[in-house]
Structure 1
Amino acid sequence: MTEKWVQVALDVPLSRSFAYGSGGLPVQPGERVLVPFGARRLSGIVLSVDADAGDYAGKTRAILAAPGDMPALPEDVLRLCRFVADYYHHPLGAVLAAAIPVVFRGTGIFVPPQPEARFQAADPVALLAGIGPRAHAQQKVAQLLAAPVSESALRAAHASALRWVRDWQAAGLVQQLAGIEAPAPALQLGTQPELNAEQGRAVAAIAAAEGFEPFLLYGITGSGKTEVYLQAIARQLEAGRQVLVLVPEINLTPQLEGRFRARFPASDIVSLHSGMTDRQRAINWLAAASGRAAIVLGTRLAVFTPMPCLGLLVIDEEHDPSYKQQEGVRYSARDVAVYRARQRGIPVVLGSATPSIESWQNAMARRYTLLPLHQRAVKGAGLPSIRLLPVKKIRASEGLHPLAQEAIERALAAGQQALVFINRRGYAPVLACTECGWMASCKHCAARLVLHLNERRLRCHHCGFEEAITPSCPDCGNHDLQPIGHGTQRLEDIVARQFAGARVLRIDRDSTRRKGELDAALKQVHDGDADILIGTQMLAKGHDFPRLSCVVVLNADTGLYSMDFRAEERLFALLTQVAGRAGRHGQGGEVLIQTMFEDHPFYTQLLDGDYARLANRLLAERQQLRLPPVSQWAMLRAEAPQLERVQAFLSAARACFPVLRGLTVHEPVAASMTRRAGHERMQLLIASDSRTVLHQALDTAVPLIDALPVSQIRWSLDVDPLEV
């Protein structure tokens, strides 16, 4: 075969591709290849193939192999990755590496499992006729077998489903089909609830969309946004198209997957998130890329998944900052998803009870179609009542206001559940000396060590450093060291003492570290085996607890005096989400927020429940102060063991920017956390009212910054930063 010149993108910190000879292999753009790189052997993605090597003839090394274990990335995914690399000013090779499963980034060859077996009833009527009238679970499985069903779908339907199918197969009632070559199953729908008028209008609008159209589904908590997604998705599946659904957190994926499987029992549904094994993620990714998976549920990394028949994109809780990647290529999965929908010419639905100010601005400017849901989906269910509990003058008994205790007691007496919410892990945020005021601090960060009393450890939640609890003050020798403040562990102890006999369950990152612990805890809540929940923001999003009627919020005031201009927006979203867990099923809900600042105007708007008013006010303030999204920002961050090195690097980087009208390059300043993991941290803000001007400046400056000496310096560029 004729030798060709191949351009390959590699996951190296260089903003260029590399030329190789084809080695006679018939490679194509998007294909994974193994190449020599210095003394190493790397995996890369082919960008282009040219019959004429030109000036590279005789000077390039040849690719070593084309494993063929990964389908070539389609042109639309390659173009999407090029856009991300250009917009976020990051090497294309690193973007492509982030877009594919981990098993394809190395030099090993991935061997997928044998195609999954599928089953179908030889005679659906005869199969059902032979099942007893009281065997409801078997009847449900038999109904699925009217069309080809995969092993995984059967396992999801019932734990004993495969055993029953094997028995029916032995009796000649069911036949096994070939794996992925089996015909696609006909769409089967589980029970579809009747939509209210607002939900119906939303589904109709999404279904009527022709080509690219972004929708902002603005619905109060409990308004049935997920039901709108499900019925809009059903329309796409009926037309033979695939759907990508993004969620902000890993812990939401299993619950959502269960609901989707119940609605679409015969459809292939796969999940993609970082909590999966590398092998399982690769298997699911291949199912999506082949077109076999009808629905993909995933966190931000799923936004790049190849889907040949993609017809709809859904971004649930679109306001959530978890969609922004904070390491490597710092992309926003929400923004990339909208761009991908535009690129493919398909509708995209962004859903939230508290939309981001960016999305709200787009809706107000009619760039997005606003679909409001003002009422709760369950008949008779209204929004919970919200009250403020001033704690400035009334002593809270070990953290809980007397009225909060009474509210919890009322919920328990009525057979309902209560949630005590505090967004702080550990036993106490500070361990201090009562004599001299010493406080336990991290040796590597500008932060206090959090007391974890159960483990007898002091732990930094930023760098992971930990040490044993000191028996005395290292400054004055005093043995009277006291915890200050409350965390989930301390609150768990307090609540267990105050409500003797109540079953108290703590759900936070510490209590759900091992695989399966979170699912087990949530099952405990749904089964009614817990009376009082103690939790962090892990419980604030997406969960539907039918018996939860009372929510008590502690420590909400910290968001009111933050240096971050997004603090009010984020606090409103968090409190709205937490409050929205109560009273979702018509039993009435009560939310009590303990505060030192009950007269703060923020709480007035929260009690009104009018997010639109708050969003419009914040948007007007940002217009006046030229803050995002009115202004376009990029943040150049740097860190090193010595502060002088960081200052010198950022000063040199600042000089790399051109002088452009409408561009402001600020002086280097200390980061909000000045020291982390032993490194001094500073940042440089680049701002402009024009996105074009900002990127023109970055196009000029980034190559020059790349060329600066960076001994012991780590730096990164963050376009559209969320953390300031």
Structure 2
Amino acid sequence: MPKPTDSSLAIYRIRVAVPVYLYDCFDYKLSAEQYQQAEVGARVAVSFGRQNITGVIIEKLAPDAPIDPRFQLKFITELLDETAIINNKVLSLLTWSAQYYQFPIGEVIHTALPTFLRQGKPYNLLARNWKVLDLAAEDKVKRSEKQQAAYKILKLHPQGTQENILNLSGIETATLKAIEKKGIIRCELEQQNFTPEPVQLAQMPLTANDEQKKAIQTILKAQNKYQAFLLDGLTGSGKTEVYLQVMQEVLKQGKQVLVLVPEIGLTPQTISRFQSRFHCNIVLLHSGLNDTKRLQAWQSAQTGKASIILGTRSAIYTPLPNLGLIILDEEHDLSFKQQEGFRYHARDVALYRAHLENCPIILGSATPSIECYYLAQQDKLTRLELNQRAGAAVMPKMHLIDLKIAQKKQGMSTQLIDEIKKRLDKKEQVLIFLNRRGYAPVLICESCAWQANCPHCDAHFTLHMKPYSHLHCHHCGTINRLPDSCPQCNQQTLKPIGMGTAKVEESLNELFPDFPVLRVDRDSTSRVGSWQKIYDQIQKSQPTILLGTQMLAKGHHFPYVTLVAILDIDGGLLSVDFRAPERTAQLIIQVAGRSGRGEKKGDVYLQTLRPDHPMFEIIMQQDYQTFAKQTLADRQLALLPPCRYAVLIRCESRSQDENQKFLSEMTQQLRQNTEANLIDIWGPIPAPMERKAGRYQAHVALLSQDRAKMHFYIRHWWQQLLQNKPSSMKLTIDVDPQELN
């Protein structure tokens, strides 16, 4: 037992995680009064080197704990929070994430906080909540479509709706203020304190079919305990209705539900379904919000005021005092894996969080990842199947078009053009998919074969024609003007090769001048609210051509689309990445699933130069389960993930020789310091794109069947790599990598 310490001689200390790329936490002194007030999970302002930064307390040290005489402790600058803003469970989750993904804990906590909290700004803000005062004021807003739309939504929620939710639904703050001036609605500034609302149904549930009922009942048996479910349902099979009916029971208990979707584009559709079903506080958490609205939403969730929290990847780290259910929709989607900096996978973090919170978790997908099939095979996930489409909808019929023999016009087969015309004449909608934005992927000279290549990357420039003609590298961001003539031979014989969405849009406007063409890609939806406007137009039963990239393949419900055309999928069949066939199959099934979701039957046309590829035999039957089983068997034979655990070390420098020499020396050290045959080391080898942004890339892949032991050895070895690397070299570690680029 330590002896009691004289309080006048005691040194009061806390351990603080600071946002710097160092794998340690740091001790700071504070007064006895501050020590009494300080809570683990609260923020403090501290001096670190020459910086003044915001850290988070992760431990209160005993006053008589030993002090390392090598270090001179500093006093904290300020105690920023009176109470913890990160609860113990989320702090445990963040600590686990830092250890598992081999990333500094201070940086991990930093990325989990809203920007204002990172900056040390006050925690309490006032939220803007809009309420209807006059429920019969339609005549006062009839001259403005925007005001009419806003008024209709507010009438559905007489208890009020937060401004950030209205903004995401396409309603601008200026519109709300204009209605406010008419005395119809008012804005209330409410303090972010926990004032739970009783959850009421705004709309009765749909009648579940037998498969849906079985799934709902099975999940509800796991209330108040940890169990992970894989909801494996065909596109259009009613997975969302299963979510809603399970959520209803959880919300009745006064608990919170966390729903994760892969991209911002899905949030308007999802929140619309939630709002039409439940009268409760729903908040959104994603990168499209400004800093103020993000903090307000985060506080509503953290205090327990919000009942439903809908967000993208980073929302998994939001503190929730009454979490009762986690839903991760489209679990297979690559967007759940962070590809820069702190490279966590939201799906895997969500599984661990559900375990910590002792609550059920649902992973939903029509094309589950091979990782989830493997976990289900090991009984770590309970697999629930939905094998029929909801209502009267049936699966679309698949058609394969051989581009080698088909007659073509502007990159599309004449057969496909005729089918599109038939659907439009019937006043139906058509979706055309091409996973390549821009006008053309290659610009070439017909005289001397010069190609427009990026000077900094091993990649072609992509030609863009709007808002002006230019060449753009999608890898490093370099933009060059479009040359008038060939830089090599000076001939005016430059020709775009291949098709991007912008070029296809131009062709469709020529082929079908009487019908609107709506393009959905990163270029056309960069403005706030632009995707919502397109989505609203699609929901009208008018003949329309919808053209876009994989943004369209992610769970959207387009009831009037009866024909889907996939223009070019062959690139995915030629990739060096072992996951490419899985990604390609998922993309085809997901895009095809947008067809025939309403009352009319749908068709899918797939153009390819390789109709004899073995994958098409299975995919044309829309039998993803058979494909997944075969793929998993192939991975087991090759000892590839998920049958072995992987870590990828990426190395970047000015010289490939420097990369190879350094990594060769360091991998030799790893071999010498680990158990024989524990870790299989592949590399070092050049990355698939060897040169990017003027620097050379190399990889080392580490694989093992013993994850715990591999992580133990790699943790120490990784620290050595960072200490010994040249200052000009950049190293990153990617645990459970999803891409090899």
TM-score (norm: length of structure 2):
0.90
Q: In 2, distance between residues paired with 1:178 and 1:276?
A: 19
Q: What is the aligned partner in structure 2 of residue 427 from structure 1? A: 439
Q: Distance in 2 between matches of 1:168 and 1:73?
A: 39
Q: 1:29 — aligned with what?
A: 40
Match of 1:295 in 2: 308
Q: Distance in 1 between matches of 2:606 and 2:115?
A: 44
Aligned match of 2:614: 601
Out of 248, 253, 264, the position equivalent to 2:267 is: 253
Number of the residue aligned with 2:558: 545
Match of 2:338?
325
Aligned CA distance change for structure 1 residues 349 and 497 (closer, same or farther; 3 Å): same
Choose the corresponding residue for 2:197, options 185, 202, 221: 185
Write the mapping of 1:96-175 to structure 2, written as runs, cut at 5 A: 96-106=109-119, 108-110=120-122, 112-116=124-128, 144-145=157-158, 148-150=159-161, 152=163
- Separation in 1 of the partners of 2:72 and 2:349? 38
Contact map agreement 1:257 1:297 (CA 8 A) in 2: yes
Paired residue for 1:451?
A: 463
Q: Which amino acid aligns with 1:412?
A: L
Residue 17 of structure 1 is matched in structure 2 by 25
Q: Name the counterpart of 2:720.
A: 704
Q: Distance in 2 between matches of 1:481 and 1:686?
A: 45
What amino acid does structure 2 have at the position aligned with 1:268? N
How far the C-alpha of 1:117 sits from its partner, in A, is 5.6
Aligned to 1:231: 245
CA drift at 1:678? 1.1
Question: Which residue of structure 1 aligns with residue 219 of structure 2?
Answer: 206
What is the deviation of 1:181?
A: 5.6
**Contact 2:194–2:304 (CA under 8 A) maintained in structure 1:** no
Instruction: State the 1:359 CA deviation.
Output: 0.3
CA apart distance, 1:471 = 1.9
> In structure 2, do the counterparts of structure 1 residues 598 and 351 end up closer, same or farther at CA, with 3 Å as the change threshold?
same
**Match for residue 124 of structure 1?**
none
User: 2:12: which partner in 1?
Assistant: 4
Query: In structure 1, how many angstroms separate the alpha carbons of the residues matched to 2:413 and 2:234?
Result: 28
Counterpart in the other structure of 2:704: 688
Q: Aligned with 1:629: secondary structure?
A: coil
Residues 467-506 of structure 1 aligned to structure 2 (within 5 Å)? 467-506=480-519
Task: Point out the more displaced range, 361-370 or 312-321.
Answer: 361-370
SS of residue matched to 1:655: helix
Gaps of 5+ in 1: 122-126
Find the partner of 2:405 among 393, 406, 416: 393
Residues 591-626 of structure 1, C-alpha deviation per residue, up to 9 Å, x if partnerless?
Answer: 100011111111110111111111110010011000
Q: Aligned letter for 1:43?
A: T
Task: State the secondary structure of the residue aligned to 1:61.
Answer: coil
Which of 520, 525, 529 in structure 1 is aligned with 2:533? 520
- Give the one of 42, 47, 51 matched to 1:40: 51
What residue number does 1:73 align with? 86
Q: 1:598 to 1:139 in 2, by over 3 A?
A: closer
Q: Give runs of aligned pairs for residues 78-93 of structure 1, distance below 5 A.
A: 78-93=91-106
Instruction: Please tell me the residue identity of whatever aligns with 2:704.
Output: S
Q: Is the 8 A contact 1:155 1:162 kept in 2?
A: no
Q: C-alpha separation between the residues in 1 aligned to 2:154 and 2:609?
A: 56
| 1:300-379 map, 5 Å | 300-377=313-390, 379=391
Match of residue 674, structure 1, among 690, 714, 719: 690
**Compared with structure 1, are the counterparts of its residues 313 and 182 closer, same or farther at alpha carbon in structure 2 (3 Å cutoff)?**
closer
Partner of residue 221, structure 1: 235
Selected match of 2:429 from 417, 426, 429: 417
Deviations 1:235-292, CA, capped at 9 Å, x for gaps: 111000001101111111122112211211x311111111211221111111111000
2:394 equivalent in structure 1: 382
Structure 1 residues 386 and 117: alpha-carbon distance in aligned structure 2, compared to 1, 3 A threshold:
closer
| Whole-angstrom distance in 2 between the partners of 1:131 and 1:482 | 56
The whole-number CA distance in structure 2 between the counterparts of 1:511 and 1:334 is 29
Q: Structure 2: which 5+ residue stretches go unaligned?
A: 1-6, 143-147
CA distance 1:530–1:96, shift in 2 (3 Å): farther
For 1:648, the aligned partner's letter is K
TM-aligned CA deviation for residue 649 of structure 1:
2.5
Q: Matched residues in 2 for 1:294 and 1:491: separation?
A: 43
Amino acid aligned to 1:20: Y
8 Å Cα contact 2:559/2:598 also seen in 1: yes
Distance across 1 between alignment mates of 2:294 and 2:156: 30
Going from structure 1 to structure 2, the CA distance change for 1:380 and 1:6 (only over 3 Å counts) comes to: same
SS at 1:283's partner residue? helix
Amino acid at match of 2:13: W
- Cα deviation for residue 474 of structure 1 reads 2.0
Matched, 1:240 2:254: yes
Tell me the alpha carbon deviations over residues 318-351 of structure 1, each in whole angstroms, 9 at most, x when there is no partner: 0011111111111100000001001111100000
Query: 1:578 and 1:176, CA in 2 relative to 1: closer, same or farther beyond 3 A?
Result: closer
Structure 1 pair 169/556, CA: closer, same or farther in 2 (3 Å)?
Answer: closer
Q: Secondary structure at the match of 2:683?
A: coil
Give the SS at the match of 2:15: strand
Alpha-carbon distance in structure 2 between the residues aligned to 1:385 and 1:353? 17
Give the equivalent residue in structure 1 for 2:145: none
Q: Is the 8 A contact 1:417 1:530 kept in 2?
A: yes
Per the TM alignment, residue 49 of structure 1 is displaced from its structure 2 partner at its CA by 0.8
- Cα–Cα, structure 1 residues 373 and 607, in superposed 2: closer, same or farther, change >3 Å? same
Structure 1 range deviating more: 306-315 or 92-101: 92-101
Moved more, 302-311 or 704-713: 704-713
Distance (Å, rounded) in 2 between the aligned partners of 1:150 and 1:423:
37
Between the aligned partners of 2:16 and 2:543, the Cα distance in structure 1 is 55
What secondary structure, in the 3-state scheme, does the structure 2 residue paired with 1:276 have? Answer: coil
Distance 1:460 1:178 in 2: 46
In structure 1, C-alpha distance between the alignment counterparts of 2:729 and 2:270, rounded to whole Å = 42
Distance 1:177 1:319, change over 3 A: closer
Tell me if 1:402 matches 2:417: no
Number of the residue aligned with 1:659: 674
* Secondary structure at the counterpart of residue 406 of structure 1: helix
Q: CA deviation at 1:314?
A: 0.4
Task: Report how far residue 115 of structure 1 moved.
Answer: 5.0
Instruction: Please state how far the C-alpha of 1:143 moved relative to its aligned partner.
Output: 7.5
- Residue 645 of structure 1 and its aligned partner are, at CA, apart by 2.4
CA deviation digits over 1:419-463, x for unaligned, max 9? 111100111100001122111000111100011123210110111
> Structure 1 residue 185: deviation in Å?
2.5
Deviation of 1:643 after TM superposition, in Å, equals 1.9
Q: Is the 8 A contact 2:680 2:703 kept in 1?
A: yes
Q: Name the amino acid aligned to 2:275.
A: R
Distance 2:152 2:514 in 1: 41
Displacement, 1:217? 0.3
| Number of the residue aligned with 1:644 | 657
Q: Which letter does structure 2 place at the counterpart of 1:48?
A: E
- Cα distance 1:343–1:151, how it changes in 2: closer, same or farther (>3 A)? closer
Q: Give the 3 Å change call, closer, same or farther, for CA 269–435 of structure 1 in structure 2.
A: same
Distance 1:456 1:352 in 2: 40
Q: For the residues of structure 2 that align with 1:370 and 1:74, how far apart are their CA atoms?
A: 32
Q: Cα offset for 1:527?
A: 2.9
Query: Counterpart amino acid of 2:434?
Result: I
Q: 1:55 aligns with which of 63, 67, 82?
A: 67
